[in-house]
Amino acid sequence: MKPTRRHLIILMAVALIYQNLGNVEGRTHFHKQKKKGSPVEAPSSQEAVSPSPVEAPSFQEAVSPSPVYPPPVPSDPSGPGDNSSSGCVFDVTSYGAVGDGSTDDTPAFRTAWKAACAVESAVLLVPSGYVFTITSTIFSGPCNRGLVFQVDGVLMPPNGPDCWPKTDSNKQWIVFYRLDDMTFTGTGTIEGNGEKWWELPCKPHRGPGGTTLPGPCDSPALIRFFLSTNLVVSGLRIQNSPQFHMKFDGCQGVLIDKLSISSPKLSPNTDGIHIENTKYVGIYNSVIANGDDCISIGTGCSNVEIDSVTCGPSHGISIGSLGVHNSQACVSNITVRNAMIRDSDNGLRIKTWQGGAGSVSGITFDTIEMDNVRNCIIIDQYYCLTKACRNETSAVYLSGVSYNNIKGTYDVRSPPIHFACSDTVPCTNITMSEVELLPFEGELVDDPFCWNSYGTQETLTIPPIDCLQDGEPESMAEISSYGC
């Protein structure tokens, strides 16, 4: 009997319990299986254009209870996968979409979504050879399982803030809301038309003389998944977002594979993939070049595996920022391996605000190549966007951060290793092994910075990092109370 996806999830979850959930060594295929189930009534067109999830019930109110068996971290697909479906195909052109690059095709997409949502293993097809324009839209569920949103053509929003409908949210463009077992894929392009948003005078250094002017500055994130489970995103080219390219909020069980994300180096706040309050995530085989973090991990994230990602130019791979406005932040079991980071302002960064609480633990950076990266390895517990941040006595507690086989070149304008930990809450259990960083140009910078940081050098580090203190601080009993 062919195993169902539910059987596979149960078996994989049991196996992961014995593997400590944090470091997934075994590779299992992650293929979609057809499901049996009764049709679910599709949302009305009124529901589909309801207010943005920003105004929807809060995460605490809306999130569903966790399943009995948590999904595993989706494994890196070792084969071509199976994105085909024998279900019905709902071509948006059959619902009135024109695809000439100027006509508003939003009504056709909403109607096609409503029809596809009600059918098991349906494919909503955005065909090749067309350029479709739609306005800010929420594609909401629940829908029948196995739904595939397949973009083979070009899909884009209106061109800039002047063309954005005044009644639409200017914080997001496409939102997938309350969905389970959905795939977002295709051979096409999501074009964000972000240039006019980047040039707003309120954006960093867009005002006269390199200043930033006051005023409303909301810009839409391109694609957002909200309160959804068992998601697959693969194959697409996503480019030139006005703000974040792709966000996952309150999701569980996410597989991201073979994405191309790109925007200019100086485009502001254009993070490639941002996750928060999201668990069991695998990000694989993707190339990201943009004007901010290529991958950013916010609070509430755990069991995340990032493998075979090329990043840059960008601001690197970041955990944080965490603890803003004295909030609690909890992040655990994050693994980044087999990554290339090039021509970036930062490499591997953990950033927290003073005054926060909670913890970051179980972080592994393994086999990372750096090419002309400034701030290759950085922990910054004094993160601040202005010069007016006050010193605080509390902090997010960092412990169990491992750097192994980190090699390459750095920009000599900054020391390649920088551990700035809280005055009152030291970083502990930092492990350094096979870290070899040399200047891209110029002379070796041999004065890495450490402040209140404790750990172990398992091998000689280049440059030497003698400032890392051995053992543990005397106040460990007090520090343990900071954990999540």
Decide: 21 and 305 in contact? Cβ < 8 Å: no
Decide: 436 and 405 in contact? Cβ < 8 Å: no
Relative to beta strand 377-380, strand 453-457 is: unpaired
Active site residue 315: yes
Question: Alpha-carbon distance 119 to 76, whole Å?
Answer: 29
Count of CA atoms in the C-beta half-sphere (13 A) of 458 = 11
Tokens of 393: 């006595």
Q: 245, 274, 315, 418: which one is catalytic?
A: 315
Question: Alpha-carbon distance 164 to 377, whole Å?
Answer: 40
Question: Alpha-carbon distance 17 to 387, whole Å?
Answer: 45
Q: Side chain identity at 174, as an amino acid letter?
A: I
Tokens of 374: 């400034």
**Per-residue 3-state assignment (H helix, E strand, C coil) for the chain:** CCCCHHHHHHHHHHHHHHCCCCCCCCCCCCCCCCCCCCCCCCCCHHHHCCCCCCCCCCHHHHCCCCCCCCCCCCCCCCCCCCCCCCCCEEEHHHHCCCCEEEEECHHHHHHHHHHHHCCCCCEEEECCCCEEECCCEEEECCCCCCEEEEECCEEECCCCHHHCCCCCCCCEEEEEECCEEEEEECCCEEECCCHHHHCCCCCCCCCHHHCCCCCCCCCCEEEEEECCEEEEEECCEEECCCCCCEEEECCEEEEEECCEEECCCCCCCCCCEEEECCEEEEEEEEEEECCCCCEEECCCEEEEEEEEEEECCCCCEEEEEECHHHCEEEEEEEEEEEEEEECCCCCEEEEECCCCEEEEEEEEEEEEEEEEECCCEEEECCCCCCCCCCCCCCCCEEEEEEEEEEEEEECCCCCCEEEECCCCCCEEEEEEEEEEEEECCCCCCCCCEEECEEEEECCCCECCCCCCECCCCCCHHHHHHHCC
Cβ-Cβ contacts under 8 Å for 20 (sequence gap 6 or more): none
Question: Alpha-carbon distance 459 to 433, whole Å?
Answer: 5
Active site positions, annotated:
315
